[in-house]
Amino acid sequence: MWFKNLQIYRLPTPWNIDLAKFEEQLARGPFVKCPSNQPLSRGWVSPRKDGALVFSLDRQWLIALAVEQRLLPSSVVNEEVKERAEQIEEQQGYAPGRKQLKELRERVTEELMPRAFTRRRSTFVWLDPQNGWCCVDAASPAKAEEVIEHLRHCLDEFPLKPVHTQLSPTTAMADWLAGGEGPAGFTIDRDCELKAVGEEKAAVRYVRHPLGDEVSDEIKAHLAAGKLPTKLALTWNDRISFVLSEKLEIKRLAFLDLLKEAAEKNAERADEQFDADFALMTGELSRFMPALIEALGGEQPEAL
């Protein structure tokens, strides 16, 4: 259950909400299987599959949103609409109009929906009420907003804010690349992307490429030409590797094998493994997040 991405949000420090009350409010929006006549269903599921909607360990919480979607390709609908439109044209002597085609499409979609296959996915959220962190394991802001929207729907109040740092990730990454080294506690890895700000959005990517002195000179030349870093691979304290994006997204999050081995040594059963993984992951993230924010100049006062 190790997270692979982080969409980062801020809560008040501390966020004063009782665990029982939080779980009670989540129960307003539980997951139910997608009805045969609906394209989508979403709701909270037990992250540990033990019935509880919140998994809590050492004042760290974990929740999970399940989304089930009926897969009805537009090509299938279009083909059926085309065949029926041809039949209608033969019967009435002229092609159906725009309104008639719209009604036909809606009818075909309604008829085919119950026969469509379903696909289910789950998105996990780590909440640290004491230190005010809310991180969604999602590769895109849209997937994270899907979770946040459902939280706002269920909770009486949810005082969530985006994280704003004194230095933008783009500015900080440019400084690190220009200087040839990361901030204290961080090392620059082998992946980097730079983009021009013009209309063409010319991009240069280094993938699994040692960013040594020779490449560093190339990167400095790109920076001087006006290209800005949009992604940079980093490692924190030889414990966590990740890619930082221009939007302060954490992608390709990976915990050192040594940490996972430590968790495996402390667990004998599957439930113990879940506990050990979650304890180690949140322990590391609780130290990593402040270090990352500090590397970006700290939070802006209005975001605190």
**3-state helix/strand/coil string of 54-119:** CEEECCEEEEEEEEEEEECCHHHHHHHHHHHHHHHHHHHCCCCCHHHHHHHHHHHHHHHHHHCEEE
Asked if the model's pLDDT at residue 48 lies above 70, the reply is yes
Cβ-based neighbours of 1, under 8 Å, separated by 6 or more? 47, 62, 124, 274, 277, 278, 281
Structure token digits, residue 282? 């949140």
DSSP code of residue 303: G
Domains in the chain: boundaries:
7-72+115-162, 76-114, 169-303
Highest mean pLDDT, choosing among 82-91, 128-137, 255-264: 128-137
Task: Taking residues 92-111, report their average pLDDT.
Answer: 85
Task: Taking residues 19-24, report their average pLDDT.
Answer: 96
Q: Report how far apart the first and last C-alpha atoms of the chain are (Å, whole number).
A: 29
Return d(Cα 131, Cα 6) in angstroms, integer. Answer: 16
Torsion, Cα of 258, 259, 263, 264 (10° steps): -30
The closest alpha carbon to 250, from 144, 150, 151, belongs to 144
Task: Taking residues 96-104, report their average pLDDT.
Answer: 87
Does residue 74 or residue 144 have the better pLDDT? Answer: 144
Q: Say what the pLDDT of residue 165 is.
A: 96
Q: Say what the pLDDT of residue 73 is.
A: 78
212 pLDDT tier (thresholds 50, 70, 90): low
- Do the beta carbons of residue 65 and residue 125 sit within 8 Å? yes
- Do the beta carbons of residue 125 and residue 149 sit within 8 Å? no
Asked if the model's pLDDT at residue 1 lies above 90, the reply is no
Q: The pTM is what?
A: 0.84
The mean of the pLDDT values for the chain is 90
Q: Say what the pLDDT of residue 303 is.
A: 45
Determine the 3-state secondary structure of 15 from DSSP: coil
Residue 240 has φ and ψ, to the nearest 5°, of: -135, 130
Q: Say what the pLDDT of residue 9 is.
A: 97
Q: Say what the pLDDT of residue 304 is.
A: 44
The closest alpha carbon to 210, from 190, 235, 191, 193, belongs to 190
